[in-house]
Amino acid sequence: MYFIASFRLSTVNPMLPPADRPRPGTATPAGGASSRLPPQPWRREPGRRRARRRRGRTGRRRRRRRRRYTSPSGGRCCAPSSPPSPAATRPWRAASWPAATGTWRYGRGRRGSGVPGGGPALPPALVFQRALNAYFDPPRGTEAAAGGAAPASADTGSCIDLTADATTSNAGVGSADSQQTEDDSSFSLITWNIDGLDLGNLKDRARGICTYLALYSPDVVFLQEVIPPHLSLLQMKAGNYTIIPGNIDEYFTVIMLKKSRVKLLKHEIIPFPTTAMKRNLLVVHVSVSGVELCLMTSHLESTKNHSKERIKQLQIVLKEMQKQSESTTVIFGGDTNLRDSEVTKLGNLPDNIKDVWEFLDKPQHCRYTWDTQSNTNLNAAYKCKMRFDRVYFRPAVEGGHFIPRSMDLIGLEKLDCGRFPSDHWGILCNFDVIL
């Protein structure tokens, strides 16, 4: 028995491109009506498309962050075929934001987040660094317009010049002092070992030191491990400060006095007779709001092996502090390299001399100023935390008084070069002035 099956042939030409083929149920090129065809792969039914769209909202499409581009004129369009550069997709990692190019954003972002076009908020440390770099760096093209070449890196060459990109002496540290109103009821001081003996990224780190001094604009600055290139940079950028160096060769200490607030009376350098590291005590007598003040800084002998010499130097410091007039407040700050056991061996401090950190009830957030675990500048294999940098004061018996109010650490943020300004944290002290 034979079964005969009849087929109704479609008049659709399979050789036609999809765009020229008739839809199911419409007239064929021959004029007839085609039979209902199965769904074609090139034609997606509306219902299926809507279902896919609904599924995509909760599936992986929802997690996919669509990349959009904003042109310089403000128009938005789909992303071009070429991928964006790292400077465009990660503006906080770019050296500068290009003004002539568009901005990229991923997803919706948060408006007002600090990144053009939305996106995640910038880390506070990077916002700080970019703002201060813009404050100090000369406009781009300044050197080219002047016919000069870009300065060489501070890391190379035997002659290091940190003033190659400096502008004027009033355009650096303390340049905004004229716009600030001096407060006679407070007094600020910074002491910091700036690690000038480390020539790695010296130029970037020196600029970072200047940015912190400009940010806090202290009345007095104590610096240790200053080298001649540092001194030249400070003399050029810190025009609003009187700079007194403890030496001018190799490395030394420096005291900076804000001209608008602190008046220099006299200064002297007291040598340490048996030092093997060319250390001394720099003493400066000043007047603040009509009140006489004696300021001292030093860099005591380094390393554990020189403990005996360090204790001798501390004894000289304490003796000089006690020798000053009782009507004068004496403040000493610097890199003492002291261990607590050494102070105990000395018999602790005299009764009339106070450790500011202990006077403020030993705040733990500013206890350690040399921390190889948090500070990676040395790349030390060992982990060590020490309170090397200290501030002592001897209050005046009569007349004006300087009472410690707060203490904080500075220099805790890495610079663009990937290093900290120094292997030491700086100390910022604020005092209340009672006239």
Per-residue model confidence (pLDDT) at position 109? 41
Q: How far is residue 275's CA from residue 233's CA, in Å, rounded to a whole number?
A: 28
Which residues does 21 contact at the CB level (< 8 Å), separation at least 6?
12, 13, 40
Per-residue model confidence (pLDDT) at position 398? 87
Give the residue-averaged pLDDT of 13-24.
53
Per-residue model confidence (pLDDT) at position 4? 46
Q: How far is residue 186's CA from residue 175's CA, in Å, rounded to a whole number?
A: 20
Q: 354-355 and 389-394: which strand pairing?
A: antiparallel
- Quick: pLDDT tens for 294-310: 999 999 999 999 999 99
Q: Rank 130-144, 156-170, 241-255 by mean pLDDT and report only the highest.
A: 241-255
pLDDT at 98 over 50: no
- Quick: pLDDT tens for 175-218: 544 445 678 899 999 999 999 999 999 999 999 999 999 999 99
Q: How far is residue 22's CA from residue 26's CA, in Å, rounded to a whole number?
A: 6
Among residues 195, 219, 335, 371, which one is catalytic? 335
Per-residue model confidence (pLDDT) at position 183? 83
pLDDT at 369 over 90: yes
Mean pLDDT lowest among 120-129, 184-193, 207-216, 316-325: 120-129
pLDDT at 129 over 70: no
Give the residue-averaged pLDDT of 157-168.
53
pLDDT at 111 over 90: no
> Which residue in 368, 371, 219, 212 sits closest to 288, CA to CA?
219
Residue environment code for 260-297, b if the CB has 16+ CB neighbours within 10 A, otherwise e = ebbbeeebeebebeebeeebbbbbbbbebbebbbbbbb
- Quick: pLDDT tens for 250-259: 999 999 999 9
> Which residue in 288, 332, 312 sits closest to 429, CA to CA?
332
Per-residue model confidence (pLDDT) at position 56? 59
Per-residue model confidence (pLDDT) at position 138? 47
Give the residue-averaged pLDDT of 99-111.
40
Per-residue model confidence (pLDDT) at position 102? 42
Specify the amino acid at residue 23: R
pLDDT at 289 over 70: yes
Per-residue model confidence (pLDDT) at position 182? 76
- Quick: pLDDT tens for 32-78: 444 455 555 555 556 666 666 665 555 555 555 444 444 444 444 44
Per-residue model confidence (pLDDT) at position 92? 38
Q: How far is residue 318's CA from residue 314's CA, in Å, rounded to a whole number?
A: 6
Q: How confident is the model at residue 83 (pLDDT cuts 50, 70, 90)?
A: very low
340 assigned to active site: no
Q: How far is residue 302's CA from residue 314's CA, in Å, rounded to a whole number?
A: 12
pLDDT at 143 over 70: no
Please answer whether residues 264 and 241 qualify as being in contact, where contact means their C-beta atoms are separated by less than 8 angstroms: no
Q: How confident is the model at residue 376 (pLDDT cuts 50, 70, 90)?
A: very high
Average pLDDT taken over every residue of the chain: 76
Specify the amino acid at residue 357: W
pLDDT at 81 over 50: no
- Quick: pLDDT tens for 224-253: 999 999 999 999 999 999 999 999 999 999
* Structure tokens given for 138: 């000369």
Which residues does 262 contact at the CB level (< 8 Å), separation at least 6?
219, 220, 242, 286, 287, 288
Per-residue model confidence (pLDDT) at position 181? 63
Mean pLDDT lowest among 12-16, 158-162, 301-305: 12-16
Per-residue model confidence (pLDDT) at position 167? 47
Per-residue model confidence (pLDDT) at position 172? 60
> Which residue in 186, 204, 206, 187 sits closest to 196, CA to CA?
206
Mark residue 173 as left, alpha or beta (left: phi above 0; alpha: psi -120 to 50; beta: remaining): beta
% of the chain surpassing 70 pLDDT: 58
Specify the amino acid at residue 261: R
Q: Which residue has the higher pLDDT, 384 or 51?
A: 384
